[in-house]
A and B are shown apart, each in its own frame.
Chain A
Amino acid sequence: MPKMELAGNTYEVDEHGFLQETAKWNEEIAKAYGSKEGFNELTADHWTAINYLRNYYLQNGICPMIRRLVKDTGFSLKKLYDLFPEGPAQSACKWAGVPKPTGCV
């Protein structure tokens, strides 16, 4: 497994940079991912989405479907793409330290 440096520490990631040991996540890691994609600061909206995603994952074992993310955060899909350049699945899940979705999705 490859390793990546995030917020001063080295973590195991997959080939697309997703954190493999989700329990090791902290907010600094989210910021580190964000800055890699061009965001030096994460806004309150960022945190709303990230926290929602992470909590949903920890409770349900999967990332929430887009409709749920849109409904429960109140952010439109366009807004989500403004916040997370690669989109909810690629960026937001990654910054939230949640594994890349598997299966036919």
Chain B
Amino acid sequence: MPKRLNLTDISKTGEGQLTEPDVNELMPLPPPYDKFKEPGFKILTEDQRERLVSNLDGIVALALPKPKSKEEEKKYIEQFVSGLKKLLSREDNWTFLQPLLLSLDYCARCQTCSEACHIYLASGRNDLYRPTFRSEIFRRLVNRYARHKGSRFGGNDIELNWETVSRLYELAYRCNLCRRCAQACPMSIDNALITREIRKLFSQELGWAPRELHEKGTALQLEVGSPTGLRPDVVRDNVQFLDEEFSESTGIKITTPWDRKGADILVIHSAGDILSFPESVIAFTILCNAAGLSWTLSSEAPGYEGVNYGLFYDDIQLARIATRHAQIAQKLGVNKIVMGECGHEHKALMTVADRLLTGDLNIPRESAMTFLEEIVFSGKIKFDPAKNNFSVTLHDPCNIVRNLGIVEPQRRILRYLCPEFREMTPHGVDNYCCGGGGGLSVMNNVNFTDWKVLIAGRMKFKQVLEAFADRPGPEVKKYICAPCLNCKLQFREILEHYGAKEKSGIIVGGLAELIVNAMVDIKKPFIKWES
């Protein structure tokens, strides 16, 4: 299937795919994974091909059912145009109007952004995954159908049909919203912003969004408290169970406080950590208690769940969840909210939603990186860095580092507590996304997981291997410190796919566990290397 595409291909009729990524053309990986026998992308079943729209690249993330009639197709096209117009309206899109119009009108089409995009490069330079491919198509649609300006001379040659609409919807979810393209652009055009606006149009106007992000995401969080389905009573029960388990295994009394009115600090974790990376949650408890802080968690829905998937696709859901978080903190009367180890929680609550929290709701918010650094260097806890006697590298979550500029606190901790710490290349604000960004980490419908691992996560896996290249064998323990749950989940997928734990000794975890692992008072190792 072709890798070189024309923009007008997006409206090609006849249900055919535009392209398909080829495992033999992907960016090569370092040894021994250059010899890895890649099973390739999972193929759609006959039944899936019949029921679902799969006209983009053979990958289906969104499970969009095929429309039943031409009238239905026409309706969606009309809604799409209506959505385009609303994106350009002050009332309906004041939230991002200025950034959007600037990005639409001043792109020089110089392709510099493509050279910065990990997805485009990892795919073997398939045109479909260029940031400009999606943005330019959208730009031309906006100009032609919503602003009625421009001409064929200026490139307004994209036809708006069902194929264009359905392909663009799927294509909007082939981007991690990492904004490396925005960084690289000399004009500061932001293709991730445009991608998000496309997703927003579909969600806020047509009601289309990935099930994992909306129905079982923000909607579920607003209804019961968390996209995981954790209810207040269940979350308290689970954390109590963990308190007991870890009190036994560490030999120190661990009690996580709940709903303490008037506490100084409210910590909001990504609730999924409770279920999947409980060491992280307990590590916070251990550290806060050992430092003698006045702190609490909240068991009022959704105060125990820091995620805000609205950041990925929908301003209304983003605003709702951020407002609830702030209201809960306000009720508790805390002086600050500390973001747990969750990248997009940082970005959603600390910066993007900052202007949605007016008046009293604008309670001070701080990053876990800063918070943990303060604890580590306060002198209140004794550490023995020699306990972290394994190779450590740091993954920089895009939403914390590139988007918020929080770079050094976590590094100061690692330089102190991890004698074998080494950086990836590039790192800091120049990092590459893990491939799970933009909500993709929790999206696993149909055959999307393979795309995430093989393409979105490829550059990061290469970086990890290069960082650990000094002693690549499995006998040397290697820890990817990834202070973000979505990143950890993506790493988990990647490591499992390649058998990297068995072949190279690599595991992934957060920052708080590394700190606790170095505590003198915890005799047994806190980080577990056997499964």
Contact = CB atoms under 8 A, between A and B. Distances in A.
A102 B442 CA distance: 8
Given A2-B47, A15-B446, A65 B229 contact: no
A104 B48 contact: no
Given A15-B48, A62-B228, A104 B272 contact: yes
A67 B273 CA distance: 13
A101 B242 CA distance: 20
Nearest to B45: A2
A68 to B, nearest CB: 7
A85 interface: no
Contact of B228 (A67, A77, A103): A103
Contact of A102 (B51, B216, B274, B441): B216
22 contacts: A2-B48, A15-B48, A15-B445, A60-B234, A61-B234, A62-B275, A65-B274, A65-B276, A65-B278, A67-B278, A77-B531, A101-B275, A102-B217, A102-B220, A103-B220, A103-B226, A104-B276, A104-B342, A104-B441, A104-B442, A105-B275, A105-B489
A16 B307 CA distance: 25
Contacts of B374: none
CB-based closest 10 A-B pairs: A104-B272, A103-B227, A103-B228, A102-B216, A62-B229, A65-B275, A60-B234, A105-B272, A15-B446, A104-B485
Given A16-B444, A67-B278, A102-B442, 14 more contacts: A14-B445, A15-B446, A67-B242, A68-B238, A101-B228, A102-B216, A102-B228, A103-B220, A103-B271, A103-B307, A104-B272, A104-B485, A104-B486, A105-B228
A103 B342 CA distance: 13
Contacts of A104: 227-228, 270-273, 276, 307, 342, 441-442, 485-486, 489
Contacts of B217: 102-103
Interface of A: 2, 14-16, 60-62, 65, 67-68, 71, 77-78, 101-105
Contacts of A71: 245
Nearest to B229: A62
Interface string B256-294: 000000000000001111111010000000000000000
Contacts of A15: 48, 63, 445-446
Contacts of A102: 212, 216-217, 220, 227-229, 442
Number of chain B interface residues as a range: 35 or more
Interface string B229-270: 111001001100110010000000000000000000000001
Nearest to B226: A103
A101 B226 CA distance: 12
A65 B238 contact: yes
Interface in B186-236: 212, 216-217, 220, 224, 226-231, 234
Contacts of A103: 216-217, 220, 226-229, 271-272, 307, 442
B270 A62 contact: no
A65 B220 CA distance: 19
A16 to B, nearest CB: 8
A100 B498 CA distance: 23
A16 B444 CA distance: 9
Contacts of B238: 65, 68
Nearest to B306: A104
Nearest to A65: B275
A83 to B, nearest CB: 15
Contacts of B234: 60-62
Query: Interface centre among A65, A77, A102, A104, by most B CB within 10 Å?
Result: A104
B230 to A, nearest CB: 6
